[in-house]
Structure 1
Amino acid sequence: MNSFSKTKANFTLIIISKLLIAALLIGLLSSFLAISLKQSTEYFEKAFFLKAEGNWIYLLFFPTIGLTLIYFLRQYLFKQKANKGITEIFDVTQSKSKNLPLYKIPSHFINGLLTVVFGGSTGIEVSTVVATAAIGNTAQRKEKVLSRYKTELICAGITAGITILFGSPIAGLLFSAEVITKKINRVFITTNGIALMVALAILSILDEKPLFHVAITTWHLKAIPYFIVLGLLAGLHSVYLTKSVLFFKSLFRQQSHWQKILFGGVILSICLILYPELYGDGYHAIESIFSESGQVITSTLTLIGIILLKPLITSATLVAGGDGGVFAPSLFIGAFLGFLTATLLNTFFATDVIVINFVILGMSAVLSASIHAPFTALFLVCGMIADYTLFFPLLLVCFVAKYAAKMVFPYNVYNYSATQ
């Protein structure tokens, strides 16, 4: 081997070593950020919601307080720049010169936490995705030789973050592949695989439990036509969610920050007083369906009201400056849509379908249609319940929902602005 070949081999070895170390550090930092945000949000959201449940007066003030705090933080701490969510990541990965600034990490962490804790009807998933993406982006900026792998390292942070949030490594990997990069190469597999393993190790050490405790028994072939019906309904409702978010953003684009905060605060307070289930990420309401088989909600009109208002209250939260996206809202809508569909089928058509199965299928179907990522939705929901019994029905409804949604409206909230 001549001197040139030796130099080239040594240079390649240096790059590989730095890439592996970067992936390890990104996985570690992203995992700690995700677990910190997840546990902090769960603790404070529960405390604030219990206070609001005991006295509805709190619901008049909590949303406006949260949105106001976020506004002042953005104005005086985070360079007066609004968080744009996952579209920020698309802008960065599609450009060689653009980067996610370091302040995006505390900005999304704090604002995501405040949004959900004070009743904003979103979740911390998008906040986690952007913050962990910023960690991956920062790593490649520190080492110039890694700049060509910017997208892969950004995805490594996201993979670790999603894995921590939902306890599903496959969902974390698929989300990065299906939604963010849409291409897989050896560097992607290596870096994201390392970040994923780090996240799994942390989950194991902390003994994190599945987000929902559900007992799935079986499913029946005779229910397949009803699964398809649920998939179609989920696809249509995801379009309603997407168009609601886009409409509200367009409607209030020229309004002042205070007008948006006032509008969002009023809408949130009214909706939360009517339906406390809409508070925050809504996982407490989904848990009530699982733990009590939905008996806590007996009125069909209540279910319809919750399903119809969720996209509106989510849109109002985002327009008013709340940090978040459509992840948690999609899961919430899907759970209640599945529950309503199964209830109506059993009540009026004597189908005897398994209600709890429809709740889970609905969660996956609406998420799949909302983000156009059926495999991510499938494995994410399986990870949330730590059960793969419904794998094939989930696969079916995810694809039915996605393509039903795309036939009606080919865009989602992530790619609409980029394609217009």
Structure 2
Amino acid sequence: MLKSLLLAINNWRANQNSQRNFLIYCSVLVGLVGGFAAVALKYMVHLMEELSRHIAASVPYHYSFLFLPALGLLLTVAYQHLINRDAIQKGIGSILVNIKKNKSNIPYNNAYSHLISSSLTVGFGGSSGLEAPIVCTGAALGSNVGRFFKLSNYEKTVLLAAGAAAGIAAVFNSPIAGVLFALEILIGEITIPTFIPLLIASATGVVVGKLLHSGQLFHLVTEGWLVQALPFYIVLGVLSGLIAVYITKVAENLEKGIFMKYNRYTRAIAGGLLLGILILLFPPLFGEGYHYLQAILNGNMEMLKEESLYADWLSEPLVMLLFIAALVLIKIVATGITLGVGGNGGTFAPTMFTGAFLGLLLAYGVNQTGLIHLNTSNFIAVGMAGALSGVLHAPLTAIFLIAEITGGYLLFIPLMVVSAISYIIARVFSTHNMYWQALIHEKEIYPDQDYSMLNDIQLDTLINRDYTALRKDMPIQELYNILAGSNANIFAVLNADGYLDGVIWMDEIRKHIFKDNSTQGVIGDFMVSPPAIISYNQPVSSVMNVFDHLNVWQLPVVKDRKFVGFISKSGLLNQYRQVFIQQHKSNDIFARPDSH
């Protein structure tokens, strides 16, 4: 019944509706399901937190910190291994890979597996964030909606980004930040045809979130900022840029994995116990830590003492200052351990946490000198934006996200100053944001190559099957006769079964003709192995990488080890140009008023 209904909708779309309007309808649908997913994740995490509290009630309070994260990580790993069968694709980097190399196709499994696994990780105290899982969930929902309706790769990419925007917007109640995140991080460009569906999906996600889960993430009371504090905001911008570099480096190294010589369950338990020790020493590391951020935004420093083993010591300003500095440096370490042993989460919330405590560190430290009084709440809010801007290389997302979630619109100038300085400093140390940087180091993808359009091309359409096959034992004189009627620059040398023995380059034969003026010898004497062999099922983006790396213009293609023809770089570039033109024509369709 449901399948028939969906097929009927698909047929109606194909026959009755314009391309532009249908993408907008789809963006509403993606916004709805993305909003529902965000709300579901919030409730699931709340449920896991309640469960962990009941478990912790049976042991002395502080010591529950030791084993709860290990239990959550163990459950996460067990779910991923035994139920999910390791089909989950973690992290925002995986979305970028799917956009660039997999035609924006994300397995449907990712539309729900992130909700379950991340709630187990964070609900039991794993020191990571929920933003990356909800982005992955929304992106998977958008991708699969586009796939079902057989939309183009461009349209699937837009819906994928729309799902991510809806998820972020619903989690933070911040529609503009959701749109900017999708544009700055996932798509990388801002165009009106892309912006409108993202805006609709983001707004829809926020509406769903408000209806089903009301409440602002943070509440910031501010009367504005003082010009006298501007030098300190500049200092905060510099520190934010440096801490962003630190976050990127530590996260990249730890997320590769720790305790790798052990099996996954042993790693989860060992990593969980190590994390538990850190949380025992520094309780604000437990979970996302957002309730601690709200406490310090309200000026409630006592919250940092309540669960600490050395609460009395923290009454001393110097000890409190050292404690805050330790949180700034250790939060990302705790996150790296959480993710490195199999937990599911992200570094978005930990980055905000680190930036918030960096702002607190600066303001609290300056206030202790008595030289000037800084508004600690303002510096906490602006510090979050500075850290996000430097780590994500997305200053617009950082500015509007913090302004929206805190209500700190009066802080736009400090937000702009700190975010800009942080971004500039982070760019000095790394050209790309942390997601791209990890992928580049792993040689997955490169941001200056448009894999999405390359992979729109079918390799089969590029193969030149009009070739003359040579044999190794063929006299060279026969090749000369062939050359008289051919303008080919490369020839395939095949055996009796059609397998490729090697190739003959025209340039080499030409040297032989003019150097020796000889007709002696056989093809095998001049045959060479090709610098690379292209597989018939190889993605076109990978083929382009081979051409660029080897600096050649033609390569042989084989299917099931048998030679099928040649592919040329010039033909590939020409086809890429046609796809580029076609895609921009599609963009024009969305930019023009509907003709229907």
User: So what's the TM-score if we normalise by structure 1?
Assistant: 0.92
Q: For 1:24, which of 19, 23, 28 is the aligned residue?
A: 28
Q: Kindly indicate whether residue 311 of structure 2 is the aligned counterpart of residue 304 of structure 1.
A: no
1:351, 1:259 → 2: CA distance?
A: 52
List per-residue Cα deviations over 1:151-181 (Å, max 9, x = no partner): 1010111111111111111100000000110
Aligned equivalent of 2:202: 196
Q: For 1:62, which of 65, 68, 81 is the aligned residue?
A: 68
Aligned equivalent of 2:487: none
Aligned equivalent of 1:399: 420
| Contact in 1 for aligned 2:390/2:419 (Cα 8 Å) | yes
Q: Identity, % of aligned pairs?
A: 33
Change in 2 beyond 3 A, CA 1:193/1:412? closer
Aligned equivalent of 2:144: 138
Q: Kindly indicate whether residue 290 of structure 2 is the aligned counterpart of residue 290 of structure 1.
A: no
Amino acid at match of 1:48: S
Change in 2 beyond 3 A, CA 1:217/1:311? same
Amino acid at match of 1:15: Q
Q: Kindly indicate whether residue 387 of structure 2 is the aligned counterpart of residue 366 of structure 1.
A: yes
Aligned equivalent of 1:321: 342
Q: Kindly indicate whether residue 241 of structure 2 is the aligned counterpart of residue 220 of structure 1.
A: no
| Contact in 1 for aligned 2:259/2:267 (Cα 8 Å) | no
Query: C-alpha displacement at 1:348, in angstroms?
Result: 2.5
Change in 2 beyond 3 A, CA 1:140/1:243? same
Q: Which is further off, 367-376 or 140-149? A: 140-149
Aligned equivalent of 1:380: 401
Q: Which is further off, 406-415 or 322-331? A: 406-415
List per-residue Cα deviations over 1:209-233 (Å, max 9, x = no partner): 2111221112011111100111111
Change in 2 beyond 3 A, CA 1:162/1:198? same
List per-residue Cα deviations over 1:348-391 (Å, max 9, x = no partner): 36121111111111111111111111110111111211230101
| Contact in 1 for aligned 2:299/2:377 (Cα 8 Å) | no
Aligned equivalent of 1:112: 118
Q: Which is further off, 13-22 or 30-39? A: 13-22
Change in 2 beyond 3 A, CA 1:352/1:398? same
2:268, 2:105 → 1: CA distance?
A: 29
Q: Which is further off, 322-331 or 400-409? A: 400-409
Aligned equivalent of 2:41: 37
Q: Larger % of helix: which?
A: 1
2:338, 2:132 → 1: CA distance?
A: 14
Q: Which is further off, 101-110 or 41-50? A: 41-50
| Contact in 2 for aligned 1:137/1:153 (Cα 8 Å) | yes
Aligned equivalent of 1:231: 237
Q: Kindly indicate whether residue 268 of structure 2 is the aligned counterpart of residue 247 of structure 1.
A: no
Aligned equivalent of 2:90: 84
Query: C-alpha displacement at 1:75, in angstroms?
Result: 1.2
| Contact in 2 for aligned 1:210/1:383 (Cα 8 Å) | no
Change in 2 beyond 3 A, CA 1:406/1:24? same
2:148, 2:413 → 1: CA distance?
A: 44
Query: C-alpha displacement at 1:66, in angstroms?
Result: 0.8
List per-residue Cα deviations over 1:294-326 (Å, max 9, x = no partner): 344441121122222111111000101111111
Amino acid at match of 2:38: A
Query: C-alpha displacement at 1:405, in angstroms?
Result: 1.8
Aligned equivalent of 1:333: 354
Q: Which is further off, 108-117 or 208-217? A: 208-217
Aligned equivalent of 2:284: 277
Query: C-alpha displacement at 1:260, in angstroms?
Result: 2.7
1:18, 1:253 → 2: CA distance?
A: 49
1:97, 1:291 → 2: CA distance?
A: 46
Q: Please show how residues 139-154 of structure 1 align to structure 2 within 5 Å.
A: 139-154=145-160
Q: Which is further off, 99-108 or 284-293? A: 284-293
1:167, 1:413 → 2: CA distance?
A: 25
Query: C-alpha displacement at 1:35, in angstroms?
Result: 1.5
User: So what's the TM-score if we normalise by structure 2?
Assistant: 0.65
Q: Larger % of strand: which?
A: 2
| Contact in 2 for aligned 1:30/1:157 (Cα 8 Å) | yes
Aligned equivalent of 1:14: 18
| Contact in 2 for aligned 1:45/1:280 (Cα 8 Å) | no
Aligned equivalent of 1:264: 271
Q: Kindly indicate whether residue 107 of structure 2 is the aligned counterpart of residue 101 of structure 1.
A: yes
**SS of alignment partner, residue 217 of structure 1:** coil
Query: C-alpha displacement at 1:204, in angstroms?
Result: 4.4
The total of aligned residue pairs comes to: 411
List per-residue Cα deviations over 1:269-316 (Å, max 9, x = no partner): 101111111100001111221234434444112112222211111100
2:228, 2:188 → 1: CA distance?
A: 36
Aligned equivalent of 2:549: none
Change in 2 beyond 3 A, CA 1:52/1:83? farther
1:189, 1:33 → 2: CA distance?
A: 22
**SS of alignment partner, residue 31 of structure 1:** helix
1:118, 1:228 → 2: CA distance?
A: 38
List per-residue Cα deviations over 1:52-86 (Å, max 9, x = no partner): 59612222221111111111111122122453210
2:408, 2:76 → 1: CA distance?
A: 37
RMSD across aligned positions (CA): 2.2
Runs (5+) with no aligned partner, structure 1: 1-9
**SS of alignment partner, residue 145 of structure 1:** coil
1:349, 1:152 → 2: CA distance?
A: 52
Aligned equivalent of 1:123: 129
| Contact in 2 for aligned 1:15/1:145 (Cα 8 Å) | no
The structure showing larger relative contact order (alpha-carbon pairs under 8 Å, at least 6 residues apart) is: 1
2:56, 2:242 → 1: CA distance?
A: 33
| Contact in 1 for aligned 2:256/2:340 (Cα 8 Å) | no
Q: Which is further off, 337-346 or 255-264? A: 255-264
1:49, 1:403 → 2: CA distance?
A: 43
Q: Please show how residues 44-55 of structure 1 align to structure 2 within 5 Å.
A: 44-45=48-49, 48=52, 52=56, 55=61
